[in-house]
């Protein structure tokens, strides 16, 4: 650069020599100063705040580069750094000389982060996150902020702590969960049966559908109905189901919070439409009386803590969102995998599911087709339906690049993570699910590919909490499966979601045949990992078109 300028200067006639020399000198000075500044910044970003701070990954563009990388490449940015640095169980991305993000990629260190829930906590981040994403007003945020982390039994409990306990208790295995699962499966069965009755008789080519949109259109109203009862906002106004997905698509932009009413306009408008529909729903007792017991208790909890109608509406919108979004997208991957596999997976699953078909009635209904009656008890755990459950877990592993986020709330020895790593107060720690899920040392050489067999361990017992199957022939660390988060933020809906998706896939394989549009097996698309991963990843390149056909002799499905 300097050379170029000097050469250019020599080209001018001698009358301008002084000016040229001055220009050259200024240019040289500017260049030297910029270079020094750059080197100083570069050096600064490589400075640890403490000798025990995790290794620093420098960016060619000091500090700003990390943010730019995340903004431009989304989840792929941190994921690719993590994969390139797998020798480091934790590393530092400096955002400024003092603020940093620590990225954890090692399962046992992830477990240590989860255990240190007092000094590495998610809860202090909730008020700001929910404010951004849900648009909570100041009064609601101040209620959300109260007593976030009660420790002893006598400590006052804030709104979030109460809600957290309520949801975890209600969705744990037991009678209430069985009831909820039953109503979910009934809703799905009713919708699937009524769709099946619109399909032309078997042997035709079938109907063309967009698979992801189709499954979302099944799961969204079904979940709204089973949680919020027959007068739920989505049944009253079906266009709101689409609004929920517009809101979903805009969550990363709402999180970034750079002029959301412009940069996330569609999501913003969708969220407001949903909020006002929820407010209308909530203000009429005859609507809420038919909601599920869990939702009725949620509404009472909100009232007890003095949430406004608007605040309660937004809180319930977030619950419906949590209940729908990941479940629907996961169901899409599971259905696609089962029908795309060329290793007889479909036959194997059909055989497995047939164990749960209690009455395969011979009394034909009006249209001369049979009714399938599913017994959910047989499907709900991996004991009886190991392959279906393994397929689901493998879809979750491959589809989840989610980060578990924690704030470092105090400095010094109390945060020497695993007795080794210094973490600076006020920084953010993220367990990078995408990196852990891609780690060959954890999952084996075929970590990139779909292999449900890795989750068919003999230890598969009960509900799915402790079964991570086998990676490299050895059993996988319990914190290595990140799709449901972990520690204090472990998803309370994981059992329910698992059962719901299993029921949905079971109904699909029993009722339908799916093919690629030009015939032959479905092709499972790549996943879109460019966006900020706030949920199970979507297919790259848009939805998948498939031909759907009713299976021979099968008319409708009901749930026992």
- 404 is a contact residue toward ligand HEM (CB under 6 A): yes
| Contacted entry of ligand NAG, ligand HEM, none for residue 550, CB cut-off 5 to 8 Å set by kind | none
Strand order in the sheet with 403-408: 90-94, 100-104, 428-432, 403-408, 120-121
Q: For ligand HEM, give the closer residue by CB, 75 or 206.
A: 75
Confirm whether residue 384 is marked as ligand binding.
Answer: no
- 403 is a contact residue toward ligand NAG (CB under 6 A): yes
- 233 is a contact residue toward ligand NAG (CB under 6 A): no
**The one among 177, 336, 489, 522 contacting ligand HEM by CB under 6 A:** 489
Burial 81-117, CB ≥16 within 10 A → b, else e: bbeebeebbbbbbbbeeeebbbbbbbbebbbbbbebb
Q: If residue 345 lies in a helix (H) or strand (E), which one and from where to where?
A: helix 345-354
Per-residue string for binding with ligand NAG, 275-294, x by CB under 6 A? ---------x-xx-------
| Contacted entry of ligand NAG, ligand HEM, none for residue 330, CB cut-off 5 to 8 Å set by kind | ligand HEM
Rounded to whole angstroms, the Cα distance separating 360 from 362 reads 7
**The one among 188, 282, 491, 504 contacting ligand HEM by CB under 6 A:** 491
| Contacted entry of ligand NAG, ligand HEM, none for residue 497, CB cut-off 5 to 8 Å set by kind | ligand HEM
Burial 132-156, CB ≥16 within 10 A → b, else e: bbbbbeeebbebbbeebbeeeeeee
Q: Where are the alpha helices (DSSP H) in 46-158?
A: 64-73, 75-84, 107-115, 126-134, 138-145
> Where are the strands (E) in 424-472, listed by range?
428-432
φ/ψ of residue 432, rounded to 5: -90, 90
Residue 166 CB, nearest approach to ligand HEM (Å)? 10
CA 535 to chain centre: 2
- 257 is a contact residue toward ligand NAG (CB under 6 A): no
| Contacted entry of ligand HEM, ligand NAG, none for residue 443, CB cut-off 5 to 8 Å set by kind | none
- 484 is a contact residue toward ligand HEM (CB under 6 A): yes
**The one among 69, 89, 471, 485 contacting ligand HEM by CB under 6 A:** 485
How many residues form the binding site for ligand NAG (CB under 6 A)?
Answer: 11
| Contacted entry of ligand NAG, ligand HEM, none for residue 323, CB cut-off 5 to 8 Å set by kind | ligand HEM
Q: Which 508-547 residues touch ligand NAG, going by CB under 6 A?
A: 533-535
How many residues form the binding site for ligand HEM (CB under 6 A)?
Answer: 21
- 369 is a contact residue toward ligand NAG (CB under 6 A): no
CA 464 to chain centre: 18
**The one among 147, 231, 414, 475 contacting ligand NAG by CB under 6 A:** 231
Rounded to whole angstroms, the Cα distance separating 322 from 220 reads 11
Residue 399 CB, nearest approach to ligand HEM (Å)? 8
Q: For ligand NAG, give the closer residue by CB, 117 or 411.
A: 117
- 327 is a contact residue toward ligand HEM (CB under 6 A): yes
- Residue 355: name the closest of 376, 341, 336, 335 by CA: 376
Residue 241 CB, nearest approach to ligand NAG (Å)? 18
- 533 is a contact residue toward ligand HEM (CB under 6 A): no
Strand partners of residue 512: 550
Rounded to whole angstroms, the Cα distance separating 22 from 289 reads 83
- Pairing label, strands 207-210, 120-121: unpaired
- 407 is a contact residue toward ligand HEM (CB under 6 A): no
**Token duo for residue 228:** 């919020």
Per-residue string for binding with ligand HEM, 441-480, x by CB under 6 A? ----------------------------------------
- 232 is a contact residue toward ligand HEM (CB under 6 A): no
| Contacted entry of ligand NAG, ligand HEM, none for residue 286, CB cut-off 5 to 8 Å set by kind | ligand NAG
- Residue 408: name the closest of 55, 113, 108 by CA: 113
Compute the CA torsion angle 355, 359, 360, 362 (nearest 10 deg): 150
**The one among 86, 210, 405, 410 contacting ligand NAG by CB under 6 A:** 405
| Contacted entry of ligand NAG, ligand HEM, none for residue 534, CB cut-off 5 to 8 Å set by kind | ligand NAG
Q: Biggest alpha carbon distance in the chain?
A: 107
| Contacted entry of ligand NAG, ligand HEM, none for residue 114, CB cut-off 5 to 8 Å set by kind | none
- Residue 514: name the closest of 68, 73, 209 by CA: 209
Strand order in the sheet with 554-559: 357-360, 370-374, 554-559
Chain residues that interact with ligand HEM, rule: CB under 6 A? 164, 167, 319, 322-323, 326-327, 330, 396, 402, 404, 483-485, 489, 491-493, 496-497, 536
Task: Point out the annotated binding site.
Answer: 491
Chain residues that interact with ligand NAG, rule: CB under 6 A? 231, 284, 286-287, 326, 402-403, 405, 533-535
Task: Point out the annotated binding site for heme.
Answer: 491
């Amino acid at each position: 650069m300097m050379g170029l300028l000097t050469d250019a200067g020599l080209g001018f006639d001698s009358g301008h020599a002084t000016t040229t020399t001055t220009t050259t000198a200024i240019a040289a000075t500017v260049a030297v100063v910029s270079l020094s500044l750059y080197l100083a910044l570069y050096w600064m970003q490589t400075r640890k705040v403490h000798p025990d701070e995790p290794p620093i990954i420098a960016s060619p563009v000091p500090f700003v580069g990390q943010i730019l990388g995340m903004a431009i490449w989304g989840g792929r940015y941190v994921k690719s750094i993590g994969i390139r640095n797998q020798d480091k169980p934790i590393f530092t991305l400096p955002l400024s000389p003092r603020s940093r993000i620590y990225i954890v990629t090692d399962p046992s260190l992830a477990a240590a982060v989860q255990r240190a829930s007092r000094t590495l906590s998610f809860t202090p981040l909730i008020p700001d996150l929910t404010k951004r994403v849900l648009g909570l007003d100041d009064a609601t945020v101040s209620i959300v902020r109260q007593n976030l982390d009660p420790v002893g039994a006598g400590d006052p409990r804030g709104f979030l702590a109460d809600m957290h306990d309520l949801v975890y208790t209600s969705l744990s295995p037991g009678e209430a969960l069985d009831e909820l699962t039953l109503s979910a499966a009934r809703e799905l069965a009713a919708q699937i049966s009524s769709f099946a009755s619109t399909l032309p008789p078997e042997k035709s080519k079938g109907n063309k559908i967009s698979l992801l949109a189709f499954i979302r259109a099944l799961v969204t109203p079904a979940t709204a109905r089973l949680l919020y009862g027959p007068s739920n906002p989505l049944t009253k106004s079906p266009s709101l189901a689409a609004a929920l997905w517009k809101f979903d698509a805009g969550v990363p932009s709402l999180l970034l919070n750079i002029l959301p009413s412009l940069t996330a306009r569609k999501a913003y408008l969708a969220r407001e439409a949903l909020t006002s529909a929820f407010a209308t729903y909530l203000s009429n007792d005859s609507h809420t009386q038919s909601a599920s017991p869990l939702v009725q208790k949620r509404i009472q909890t909100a009232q007890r803590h003095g949430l406004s109608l608007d605040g309660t509406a937004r809180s319930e919108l977030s619950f419906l969102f949590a209940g729908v979004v990941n479940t629907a997208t996961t169901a899409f991957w599971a259905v696609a995998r089962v029908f795309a596999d060329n290793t007889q997976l479909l036959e194997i699953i059909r055989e497995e599911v047939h164990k749960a078909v209690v009455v395969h009635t011979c009394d034909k209904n009006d249209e001369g087709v049979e009714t399938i009656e599913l017994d959910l008890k047989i499907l709900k755990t991996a004991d009886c339906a190991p392959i279906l459950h393994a397929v689901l877990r493998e879809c979750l592993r491959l589809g989840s690049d989610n980060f578990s986020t924690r704030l470092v709330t105090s400095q010094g020895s109390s945060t020497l993570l695993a007795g080794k790593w210094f973490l600076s107060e006020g920084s953010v720690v993220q367990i990078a699910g995408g990196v852990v899920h891609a780690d060959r040392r954890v999952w084996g050489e075929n970590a990139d590919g779909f292999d449900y067999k890795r989750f068919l361990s003999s230890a598969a017992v009960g509900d799915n909490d402790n079964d991570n199957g086998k990676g490299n022939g050895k059993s996988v660390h319990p914190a290595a499966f990140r799709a449901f988060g972990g520690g204090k933020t472990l998803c309370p809906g994981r059992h329910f979601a698992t059962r719901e998706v299993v029921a949905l896939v079971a109904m699909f394989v029993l009722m339908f045949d799916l093919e690629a549009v030009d015939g032959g097996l479905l092709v499972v698309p790549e996943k879109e990992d460019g966006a900020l991963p706030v949920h199970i990843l979507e297919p790259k390149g848009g939805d998948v078109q498939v031909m759907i056909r009713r299976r021979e002799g099968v008319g409708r499905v009901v749930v026992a």
